[in-house]
């Protein structure tokens, strides 16, 4: 710096400052977060760093304990390149068919990757195994189904016979090219499952870490996240079609949405204009339908894929047929691609479902 006056130095620092700020803000520099769950009050739910999606999560004995549901690590930025690891211990098996405990990376509630310890149904001997799978628009297992099928990479341990009350280290790593799940018993790697994220195939390519329990009780500890590349989080609001007025007289004032209303001691379902609405729908109008494990695919999905060529074409045709047959809503198990095409749809509140799984 010899030979520069004070004024020149000021100009030099002004030139360097934007570059320095850009480097400090660059997501490629990496972020490392660690949570051993010791900083929370006993009995708390881990917020605001964690966002539990139901009431079954609490802090106990320096761990994050849950009976069912999902908890998202909100302190971690939304990322397209991330490694997430956490200790997991299954404490108890409850009722149900496919039971799972695991970790994952979620874009939202319907789009995520999950690395799971799995318990098969009674008719399959309640065997223990592991899986790395994906949900796309609520369909599971998307990584093995047309048209979201991904190429599996060489791995091991899908049939690993894990044990309750034993702690395993679960790790999931997402990059632009691959998704990999690893399970370690101490220092011994017992499972590794990977997929190639082919550019032409729709897949979950960004998200935040989460913990998930279905049909079991589990304890999680020592969570670590390493973020290499962040990406903007998509928070687009769906565009709802304009409501088409229906004949009839309004029972109550319209509020612009479907709701229940009590009139003269009787409860009604009313439409956005306050007119009585008798909901008529058929269950599981679903492009993917039910996966048959014996066949290794979903027969209905294979048939409509061959007939229509795409889910968009199927959805357009299906909605028109439902309307022509007199149906006026989309009830349980429908494909999200059918929504906002002139038929109202339901969502599940799932109140108290975890209690039904208790022995």
The pLDDT of residue 236 is 57
Report the share of the chain in percent with pLDDT over 90.
62
Residue 213's CB: how many other CB atoms inside 10 A?
28
Q: What is the mean pLDDT of the chain?
A: 87
pLDDT tens track for 136-163: 988 888 898 778 899 999 999 999 999 9
Task: Give the containing element (helix H, strand E) for 342.
Answer: none
Domain residue ranges of the chain, discontinuous segments joined by +: 26-230, 279-357
Range of weakest confidence among 76-90, 188-202, 295-309: 295-309
Q: In whole angstroms, how far apart are CA 189 and each of 70, 160, 183?
A: 26, 11, 6
From residue 348, how far is each of 110, 114, 136, 331, 353 by CA, in Å? Answer: 13, 22, 18, 10, 11
Across 37-47, average pLDDT: 93
pLDDT of residue 12: 46
CB contact set of 359 (below 8 Å; sequence gap of 6+): 94, 95
* pLDDT higher at 29 or 179: 179
pLDDT of residue 268: 96
- Min mean pLDDT across 1-10, 59-68, 255-264, 294-303 is at 1-10
Residue 207 CB contacts under 8 Å (≥ 6 apart), including other chains: 78, 79, 82, 105, 106, 107, 108, 111, 112, 113, 174
Contact 359, 216 (CB under 8 A): no
Length of the chain: 359
Tell me how far apart the alpha carbons of residues 113 and 179 are, in angstroms, rounded to a whole number. 9
Examine the pLDDT at 82 and tell me if it is beyond 80: yes
* Stronger pLDDT, 292 or 230, i.e. the higher one: 230
* 28 pLDDT above the threshold of 70: no
Q: Is the pLDDT of residue 18 over 90?
A: no
Least confident among 5-9, 96-100, 250-254, 353-357: 5-9
Weakest mean pLDDT among 64-73, 76-85, 93-102, 214-223 = 93-102
Predicted pLDDT at 234? 74
For the cut 70, the answer to whether the pLDDT of residue 177 exceeds it is yes
Residue 222 has what DSSP assignment? E
The tens digit of pLDDT for each residue in 216-266 reads 999 999 999 999 999 998 765 666 778 888 899 999 999 999 999 999 999
Residue 146: predicted pLDDT: 74
Does 27 have pLDDT greater than 60? Answer: no
**The two structure tokens encoding residue 124:** 């399959």
Q: Residue 352: pLDDT band by 50, 70, 90 thresholds?
A: low
Give CA–CA dist 51/57, Å, rounded. 10
d(CA 239, CA 1): 59
pLDDT value of residue 358: 56
pLDDT of residue 26: 44
Instruction: Determine the pLDDT at residue 97.
Output: 83
Per-residue pLDDT for 269 more than 90? yes
By C-alpha distance, which of 207, 169, 220 is closest to 191? 169
Let me know if domain 26-230 sits in CATH 1.10.4080.10: no
CB 88 within 8 A of CB 101: yes
Q: What is the mean pLDDT of residues 284-297?
A: 80
pLDDT: which is higher, 24 or 247: 247
Confidence (pLDDT) at 25? 43
pTM > 0.85: no
């Amino acid at each position: 710096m010899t030979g520069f006056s004070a004024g020149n130095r000021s100009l030099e620092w002004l030139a360097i400052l934007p570059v320095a700020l850009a480097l400090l803000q660059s997501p490629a520099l990496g972020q490392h977060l660690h949570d051993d769950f010791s900083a929370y009050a006993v009995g708390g739910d881990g917020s605001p760093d964690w966002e539990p999606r139901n009431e079954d999560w609490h802090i106990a004995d320096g761990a994050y304990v849950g009976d069912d549901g999902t908890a998202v690590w909100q302190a971690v930025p939304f990322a397209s390149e991330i490694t997430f690891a956490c200790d997991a211990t299954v404490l108890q098996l409850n009722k149900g068919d496919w039971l799972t405990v695991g970790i994952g990376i979620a874009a939202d509630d319907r789009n995520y990757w999950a690395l799971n310890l799995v318990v098969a149904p009674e008719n399959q001997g309640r065997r223990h195994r592991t899986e790395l799978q994906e949900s796309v628009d609520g369909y599971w297992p998307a990584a093995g189904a047309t048209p979201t099928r991904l190429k599996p990479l060489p791995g091991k341990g899908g049939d690993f016979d894990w044990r309750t009350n034993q702690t395993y280290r679960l790790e999931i790593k997402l990059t632009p090219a691959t998704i990999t799940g690893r399970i370690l018993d101490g220092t011994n790697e017992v499972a590794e499952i990977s997929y190639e994220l082919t550019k032409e195939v729709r897949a979950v390519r960004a998200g935040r870490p989460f913990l998930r329990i279905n049909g079991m009780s589990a304890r999680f500890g020592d969570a670590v996240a390493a973020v290499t590349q962040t990406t903007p989080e998509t928070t687009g609001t769906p565009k709802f079609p304009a409501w088409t007025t229906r004949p009839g007289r309004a029972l109550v004032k319209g509020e612009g949405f479907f709701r229940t209303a009590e009139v003269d001691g009787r409860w009604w379902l009313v439409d956005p204009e306050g007119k009585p609405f008798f909901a008529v729908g058929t269950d599981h109008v679903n492009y993917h339908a039910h996966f048959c494990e014996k066949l290794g695919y979903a027969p209905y999905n294979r048939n409509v894929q061959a007939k229509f060529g795409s889910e968009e074409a199927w959805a357009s045709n299906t909605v028109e047929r439902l309307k022509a047959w007199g149906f006026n809503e989309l009830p349980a198990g429908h494909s999200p691609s059918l929504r906002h095409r002139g038929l109202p749809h339901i969502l599940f509140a799932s109140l108290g479902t975890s209690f039904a799984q208790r022995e």
